[in-house]
Amino acid sequence: MNWVKRIFGGSSSSQENSTTARPSRPLDSISRAAEIHRAELQQALTPEARQKAFSLWRRSIDAQAHDYADLILRHPQRDRIVQLEVDSFMRAYLNGYMAAQGWIDEQLALQSAFMLGRRLRDELRRLGLRIDSLSANLGTAIDQTLVAIVKSALSGEQ
């Protein structure tokens, strides 16, 4: 499975593939770095790295947002929800890894955790998951967990 391609997508534009093209938005630099370093990122996704990210996610969600975890277990699209979660926390890990390598700015990697959390919550709402009726701290729990995953990758923890 090509995690990096699935998580970050691919680009077909020659301008996007050019190493001299300048990102027009800060988040473009994340996608650009992922495209340039696709092979290195694929190698960085070791079973240990994936397990660390998954463990951080699961422990935090189970402890801080158990009502959300319970809701997912009963939802008919549980597999799709889990895939959205995995994409979010693995992208957070890879953003931290890219920052640790100096390919993107560390602050940008940390800020991306909040954007990933927002995107995850928006996707969950689109699937009909009633997350707004859950604990008021769900958004904070998700965002803080994604920040912890970014920091874990920044520090090189396995």
- pLDDT per position in the chain (158 positions), as tens? 455 555 555 544 434 443 444 445 667 889 999 999 999 999 998 999 999 999 999 999 889 888 888 888 888 999 999 999 999 999 999 999 999 999 999 999 999 999 999 999 999 999 988 898 887 889 999 999 999 999 999 998 65
Q: Which of 123, 72, 115, 69 is nearest to 92 (CA)?
A: 115
| CA of residue 150 relative to chain centroid, distance | 9
Number of C-beta neighbours around residue 45 at 10 A? 19
pLDDT, one tens digit per residue, over 76-119 is 999 999 999 999 999 999 999 999 999 999 999 999 999 999 99
Domain ranges of the chain: 46-155
Q: Is 46 exposed, middle or buried (0-12, 13-18, 19+ CB in 10 A)?
A: exposed
Name the helix (H) or strand (E) containing 55. Answer: helix 47-64
Report CA Rg, the chain: 16
Integer Cα distance of 91 and 146 in angstroms: 9
Measured at the alpha carbon of residue 111, what is the angle toward residues 91 and 98, in degrees to the nearest 5? Answer: 45
Task: Return the structure tokens found at 25.
Answer: 């938005």
Task: Return the structure tokens found at 69.
Answer: 């975890």
**pTM score:** 0.82
Residue 16 pLDDT: 41
